[in-house]
Every structure is written in C-alpha cells, then in structure tokens.
Amino acid sequence: MTAVTLVINPGSTSTKLALFASEDVRQEETIRHPQSELAAYENLLDQIDYRLSLVESFLTRCLSEDDQLNGIVARGGLLQAIPGGTYAVNETMLADLMASRYGLHACNLGAILADKLARKFDVPAYIVDPVVVDELNPLARYSGVKEFDRRSVGHALNQKAMARQACLDLDKKYEDSQVIVAHMGGGISIGAHSHGQMIDMVNGLDGEGPFTPERSGALPLFELADYILTNDMSMDQIKSWLVGNSGLMSYLGETDLRIVEENIQAGDQNAAQVVEAMSYQVAKSMVSLAAVVKGQVDGLVLTGGLAYSQAFTEAIKERIDWLAPVCIYPGEQEMEALYQGFMRVVNGQEKAKTYLHN
C-alpha cells in the first residue's frame, strides 16, 4: 500500500487540493467556485457540505486501490493568536471556527473540512502555521502609544516554509539560524526569524514598511490624519484606500508588476522610478530587521509573486547582499508547506501541538 496525504487549502472563490506520496505531488487541482454557485449560500459556513462533496469527488477520482490515506492537513483559519507549528484539529478549534469567534474567512473552512474527512477515513487531521501565528518578542509589541500594541499579521505559512528552505540550501537548521524573509505579493510582509520563531515583522496590513502593489505602507501620520478628516472618510473607505487602492495602484493605476514593467520597457520613466522606490523601501525594511537579531543574519529571502521579476529582485539584492546570502524563491509553496508540516510530525521531527484557549 502507498501512503498518501490529502492537503486542503480553501480560498474565497476556490479550493486547492493535492495528494502527496513520498514527498512528491501525486495530483493537484484547483476547484473554482463560480459566483453563481456561491450565491446559493447565505454565508461562508453554509458552504461546508458543498465544498466537502467536491473534495470527496476529488478523492474518488484520484485515490487508487493501492493507496492508503495516512492523514489530512489543511490551511489554518482565524483562531486566537498562537505560536507556529503543526496543530491537531480538536473540538476547541472547531468550536472557534464554527462560531467565527476570531473572524470569518474562507481559510476557516480548512480545519472543518479536514475534520469531517478525517472522521470518515479514520485518520488524523492537522493545520500548519495559520495566519494568526504570533511569536513576537515582548519589545516588538510596543507601538509607541499605550492604547494598542503592534500585531503579528503576515504570510506565516510561506514565511516559515521559505525560511526553512533557505536554511536547507545554506546547510543550516531553521531552529539554529536567523533569517529575514520578505513575502512580496499584493501585500508585503517581512519577518525576522530567529531560532525557529518569527520574533518581529514588518506588518504591511497595519500600515508598516514599504508600499506594495495595493497597499500604502508607512505614511506621514499628521498628513494622513488631516486628509481623512478633511474628506470625512469612514473606516471602510479608509481601509479600501490604504489596503486596496494605494501603492502602485495609487501612483500608476495598476497593481500587476508585469504590466508595469512592460510600460517601463516602453519608456515610462515615472513607472521606473515608482518601482525603484518600492524596491528601495523593501530593502530598507529588510535591513532594519537585522537590528532585531543584532546583525547576526544567516540568510535573506525574497519570495511571493513579485519575486518572479528578476529586475525587481535584483534591485533589492544589490542593496542588501552585503548583509548575508540572498535566496530567491518566486511564488508561494503553500501546499508543499502544509504537507511538510504534517511530515515533520509523522517523522518525529516535531510534536503536534494542541490548540487551547489562553
């Protein structure tokens, strides 16, 4: 019998599925959910049976008689803030997700679907490094005003997976190393990884660090406050502006770096300077995190969709490669990262963690 693992990664309009066997992807599929089908469900949790039937159909088509399902691992949802790692799906976790206790997002469906299938096949179910991973050191939490703290919000799954990959390529162990990772997509998060934990980060969602294709990054506070008050903006308008219509979108009216680079090739000097400014700010933010680990940096990582651009990564690299070796891993490896988190438990490299309320 061949041991195979099912990986589930639900998104708002799709569900990504993969079967892994012996470290390799046996089958991978992205099931699209047309708006015409989703419209039949009043809310996200009503989609559970709909998506479950699609996953079961995938398994029926892709599992052979010689296959033995050994576990199911899914993208984690909005839970209480927890350290990184691989967590066994349990009743406490499921109750929080079903009640949307910490928010409602498509990723909440991952553990729910995994649990239902795990019960059917009598195998364990896990999640790995969910978006709520919080390993900030105490000093990193200070915002500058006592009314609120800094948050750890970023691409934890891909951050940690690419940090591990860099350590492997540099012949080091993640748990013994210090690596700075920039995940660069529509948003940009930059994490300082020290001895297996992401102890500080540049949180692009909350308006820190570089501007991105869609987000503003850090802004002059008094000018921002004056603009908001002058224009009598609501919170929804502010969020839409700063998180979805800033950065490249604000300067150039475009979020796709590929199109912007085509315009640069055609002679658009303004676009060239805007993209150079974005790379400049990414480099500046990455190097700033070196202070967190007292300059002892083993590697620097550029990953995410923007890392497909050689021109963009080279512009960053030439400003930071004096600090440490630079590893470039374009795109996201979320399915592989989920599977690897499961296998670290199976192989005894890590112990599965238990989700409990603080």
- pLDDT (tens digit, 9 = 90+) per residue, 245-262? 999 999 999 999 999 999
Backbone dihedral region of 171: left (phi > 0), alpha (psi from -120 to 50 degrees) or beta?
A: left
Backbone dihedral region of 150: left (phi > 0), alpha (psi from -120 to 50 degrees) or beta?
A: beta
In this prediction, residues 142-166 reach a mean pLDDT of 94
Here the tokens at position 156 are: 């934890």
At 242, is the pLDDT very low, low, confident or very high (cuts 50, 70, 90)?
Answer: very high
**How far is it, in rounded angstroms, from Cα 137 to Cα 198?**
9
Contact 166, 150 (CB under 8 A): no
What's the pLDDT at 23? 85
At 204, is the pLDDT very low, low, confident or very high (cuts 50, 70, 90)?
Answer: confident
Query: 336-355: per-residue pLDDT in tens?
Result: 999 999 999 999 999 999 99
Domain 2-134+335-354 has CATH 3.90.550.10: no
Domains 2-134+335-354 and 156-331 agree in fold? yes
- Residue 98: closest CA among 44, 60, 54, 165: 44
Average model confidence (pLDDT) across the chain:
96
What's the pLDDT at 13? 87
What's the pLDDT at 88? 99
Q: Is the pLDDT of residue 358 over 90?
A: no
- Provide, rounded to the nearest whole percent, the portion of the chain with pLDDT above 90: 91
What's the pLDDT at 237? 96
Q: Domain locations in the chain?
A: 2-134+335-354, 156-331
- Residue 83: closest CA among 150, 183, 152: 152
Residue whose structure tokens are 């908001």: 228
Contacts of residue 78, Cβ cutoff 8 Å, sequence gap at least 6? 97, 100, 102, 103, 104, 105, 107, 108, 130, 131, 132
Contacts of residue 269, Cβ cutoff 8 Å, sequence gap at least 6? none
Among the ranges given (167-171, 172-176, 241-245, 321-325), the one the predictor scored with the smallest mean pLDDT: 241-245
Query: 102-153: per-residue pLDDT in tens?
Result: 988 899 999 999 999 999 999 999 999 998 999 999 999 999 999 999 988 8
- Residue 55: closest CA among 115, 1, 128: 115
What's the pLDDT at 12? 85
In this prediction, residues 289-297 reach a mean pLDDT of 98
What is the three-state SS of 112-143? HHHHHHHHHHCCCEEEECCCCECCCCHHHHCC
Q: Is the pLDDT of residue 172 over 90?
A: yes
What's the pLDDT at 82? 96
**Percent helix, percent strand, percent coil in the chain, to nearest 5:** 45, 20, 35
- Residue 131: closest CA among 189, 65, 72, 195: 189
Contacts of residue 182, Cβ cutoff 8 Å, sequence gap at least 6? 188, 189, 190, 282, 285, 286, 300, 301, 302, 303, 304, 316
- Provide, rounded to the nearest whole percent, the portion of the chain with pLDDT above 70: 100
* Helix and strand element counts for the chain (H, E): 12, 12
Q: Which amino acid is at 216?
A: S
- CB burial of 56-67 (b: ≥16 within 10 Å; e: otherwise) equals eebbeebbeeeb
**How far is it, in rounded angstroms, from Cα 76 to Cα 334?**
11
At 299, is the pLDDT very low, low, confident or very high (cuts 50, 70, 90)?
Answer: very high
Backbone dihedral region of 190: left (phi > 0), alpha (psi from -120 to 50 degrees) or beta?
A: beta
**How far is it, in rounded angstroms, from Cα 283 to Cα 267?**
25
What's the pLDDT at 195? 98
Give the bridge partners for 153, in sequence order: none
What's the pLDDT at 205? 80
CATH ID of 156-331, from 3.40.50.460, 1.20.1440.230, 3.30.420.40, 3.90.1660.10: 3.30.420.40
In this prediction, residues 37-62 reach a mean pLDDT of 95
SS3 assignment, position 197: strand
**How far is it, in rounded angstroms, from Cα 182 to Cα 262?**
24
What's the pLDDT at 22? 86
